[in-house]
Structure 1
Amino acid sequence: MPRRFLQRYMPRPDTLKRQRSLRLVTPLIADARLWLLTRRSVANAFSVGLFCAMLPIPFQMLIAALGAKVTRCNLALSIGLVWVTNPLTMPLIFYGNYRIGSFFLDIPVHEVPDRISTRWVAEQIQDIMPALVLGSLITAVCLALLANVCIRLVWRWHVSRHWRQRRKKRQRRRAQIASEFDD
């Protein structure tokens, strides 16, 4: 992954420290190790962020921040990736997780009525919850592992491509210098 690309869109720790609303997490923001952009820290941040995003629980961002602290990965990326499940995508993702959980538990899927109400959800929650939790955990683990491996491979490919370009540039420069001496 291009480090400069990620740095362009990441917030600066010093600006976050000055915000009053974040004063409780200032020690976490102040830790410089949580702002590094290395192959390991970015890959682990994707794993932590996407894992937390798939969990059907409140305070996903807080859990992602704690996960970033424990795994020493990039704090901003792990928190930002939690927003994969935003209010627009959450119903589809969690319904998919519920279907995956139903498949593994071998229970019939409750069909969604034409009009979803809180009353319907409250009546069905006891039947839905085990499948939703299992499906969410399966999806979270698979997505976290896949993201980690993919980020590491893409990062390695990007670095090796950059090295090849530098090598070709040096060879051209040497050939140009050699041709100047031959003349």
Structure 2
Amino acid sequence: MPRRLLQRYMPHPETLKRNRSLRFMSHWIGSPSLWVLSRRGVANAFMVGLFSALLPIPFQMVVAAFGAWLLRCNLPLSVGLVWITNPLTMPLIFYGNYRLGAWLLDTPAREVPDQLSTRWVAEQLLEILPTLALGSLVAAVAVGLVANLGVRLLWRWHVVRSWKRRRHHRRRRRGDEPSA
């Protein structure tokens, strides 16, 4: 995995420690194990971040931060991935989760009216909540596990490709291989 690319966009722990609003948890944020960019740490951060993002709950970033602390994976990456469900994508993702839950429970899914309003959602919320919760939990677990495996495989592929490239360059320098 391109470690340098990830490091370029990650905030520095010292910057966050000095932030006035985060100062109360600076000892927790500054733990070196939460900032390491290793294959395990990044894969688990993707798992935690995407799992938290797909849950229809408030304070998803807090859940992701706690999960990162619990699994000792990359904190900024897991918290940042929560923003996959932003105000633009959230309705589509949660509707898909609801449809998945309806399919799993073998119940007919409610159709969205032509004029979607917050009033309609509030009226329907108690009835669709169990279906949405089940669909979201199943989707979160599945996406989290697939992301974890995918990142590990991608990281491994990147490392093997780097090894082969270095071996090729060494052979060319020694004159073992003709340059193509």
Higher-Rg structure is 1
The aligned counterpart of 2:23 is 23
Residues 123-174 of structure 1: CA deviation (Å, up to 9, x unaligned): 2111110110000001000000100000000000000000001101111111
Report the Cα distance in structure 1 between the residues aligned to 2:92 and 2:175, rounded to whole angstroms.
Answer: 58
The equivalences for 1:4-153 within 5 A come to 4-153=4-153
Q: What's the CA shift for 1:117?
A: 2.1
Task: Tell me how far 1:24 sits from its aligned partner.
Answer: 2.9
CA RMSD of aligned residues (A): 1.0
CA positional deviation for 1:119: 2.1
Measured against aligned partners, the alpha-carbon deviations of 1:27-81 in whole angstroms (never above 9, x if no partner) come to 2211011000000000000000000000000000001000000000000000000
Distance in 2, matches of 1:128 and 1:55, equals 14
Residue equivalent to 2:155? 155
Unaligned runs of 5+ residues in structure 2 are none
The normalised TM-score by structure 1 is 0.94
Residue of structure 2 equivalent to 1:167: 167
Q: Which amino acid aligns with 1:2?
A: P
Greater mean alpha carbon deviation, residues 94-103 or residues 118-127: 118-127
Matched length? 176
SS in 2 for 1:46: helix
Structure 1 stretches lacking a partner, 5+ long:
177-183
Residue type at the aligned position of 1:157: W
Q: What fraction of aligned residue pairs are identical, expressed as a percent?
A: 65
